[in-house]
Structure 1
C-alpha cells in the first residue's frame, strides 16, 4: 500500500515507519495539516492515516477539505486520544472512514488499513452472505451453515466468526477480535480463548477438516483447505 501519514508526534511517526515499512508499504508523511493536504493534492495514495490534533489545521478540517474542495475519496483512518462518542461522531462527520484511539496496536492499525483498502476497491463478499470453503454465513439473518448443515452459535460466536470470515485466510490478531467483541471494555481474564473453544466445538468438531486455526501468542485464522495454510 502507498500510505500518507499526517502526524505531528515524532515518536508515533517513527513507530509507524518502522512497522509499516518493514511490511513492505510505501510511506509519505507530513507533520502539519497544510503540508498533509498539499501531499494529498499532489499524489495518489491508497489510504491516509490522519491525526486529529495537528498544528495549523486540525485533522477534522483537513478531512473536510479533502472531501469537499479536492473531491478526494481516499480512505482515511483517523487517530486521536479522544474516545468519547461525540469525538467519534465529529470524525466520521468530517469524512473519515475509520477511527482508532491512542494508544493503539500497530497490528490492528495495519489490519484496519487493509480493510479500508478492500472496501475502497469494492472487494465485498456477495451482499450479506460471507463464504469460506463450505462455510456460509448470512449476516443479516444470523444463519450459519457448513456443508449445508445449519450451525447454532452464541452471540459472541457470531461476532468472532464474522470477523474471521471477513479476513480469511489472513491471520486476525487476538487484540482485534477482543476489540470486535468487547470494544474498549475488554475483560481481564482470557475470555476470548473460552469463546474460541466453544466456536471450534460447533464449527470443526463434527468434521474431518478443522477450519479454525490458532497461531499461538498471536491470533487466529480461518482456512478453507490445507492448501491455504
Structure 2
C-alpha cells in the first residue's frame, strides 16, 4: 500500500523539494503552507495519513500549536523540522508529542532514513500475501496467475502489475499519480493518461457485462477496485 506523508512547510522551495523527493521514494504527498491549512488538511485526510513532516515556525499557527491539536485526537507519527537548534525547543517538541526532531539544514537521506524507521515501527512488515482476492477475482503472486470465476485471464506484464497494485489497495481510492508511480515509476516520461488506457484494458478483460464491474472511476481523483462499491 502506498504510504501518505503530509508536508507542512511555509518555505515554498523547500516544500516543493521535499514533495519531489518523497514522491521519488514512492510516497504519496499532501502539503500545506501554514498552520491553519495544515489542520484543515489533516481533518480532510484523517485516517489516510501515515506521517507528518511539520515545520516549527509557521504562519497563522505554529507547528507546536498544530501538534497539540493533532495529539488530542491522533497518535499519527510527527517529525518536527526547525532551524532552531536549542535543546529547550527539542524538549518542548518531544514533550508535546513529536516522534522525532530534525534541524535545518538537513541532508535529505537522513530525513528519509528517519521516516523509514518510524514507518517500520508503525507498520511492521507483513509477509506478502501469496493470493489476493476481491469478489470472484483471484491473483496468485507465486505463479503470476489471474482467475475470475475460475477462468484464467491472460494479462500483459503491465496489466498484471496495475491489477496487483489495485488489489493490494482494494477498497481504497488510488489517484492516477499514485498508480503511475507504483506501476510505471516516478521517472516515467510518457503521457499521464497511460493509466486510463490500461484501466480500460483491464476492465475489458475482467468483465463480461457492466454488472461484473470491479474497477470504478472516482471522478476527479482516480480509481478504486471493489466488489461492493456503492459510488
1:142-192 Cα deviation digits (max 9, x unpaired): 111112211111111111101111111111111111112321214126322
2:82 is matched with 32
Of 44, 53, 71, the residue aligned with 1:22 is 44
Does the CA contact (< 8 Å) of 1:132 and 1:165 recur in 2?
A: yes
2:217 is matched with 214
TM-score when normalising by structure 2: 0.57
User: Distance between the aligned counterparts of 1:188 and 1:62, measured in 2?
Assistant: 31
RMSD over aligned CA atoms reads 4.0
SS in 2 for 1:164: helix
SS in 2 for 1:170: coil
Does the CA contact (< 8 Å) of 2:79 and 2:98 recur in 1?
A: no
Q: Flag the 1:122–1:188 CA change in 2: closer, same or farther, 3 A.
A: closer
- Residue 198 of structure 1 and its aligned partner are, at CA, apart by 1.0
Structure 1 gaps, min length 5:
76-96, 98-115
SS in 2 for 1:31: strand
User: Distance between the aligned counterparts of 1:9 and 1:137, measured in 2?
Assistant: 44
Does the CA contact (< 8 Å) of 1:172 and 1:221 recur in 2?
A: yes
Does the CA contact (< 8 Å) of 1:37 and 1:62 recur in 2?
A: no
1:74 is matched with 118
How many pairs does the alignment contain?
174
User: Distance between the aligned counterparts of 2:192 and 2:8, measured in 1?
Assistant: 34
Does the CA contact (< 8 Å) of 1:129 and 1:137 recur in 2?
A: yes
Q: Flag the 1:179–1:56 CA change in 2: closer, same or farther, 3 A.
A: closer
1:146 is matched with 148
TM-score when normalising by structure 1: 0.58
Q: Flag the 1:130–1:188 CA change in 2: closer, same or farther, 3 A.
A: same
Please say if 1:195 is aligned against 2:182.
no
User: Distance between the aligned counterparts of 2:127 and 2:209, measured in 1?
Assistant: 30
Q: Max radius of gyration: which structure? A: 2
Mean CA deviation greater in 15-24 or 212-221: 15-24
1:55 is matched with 104
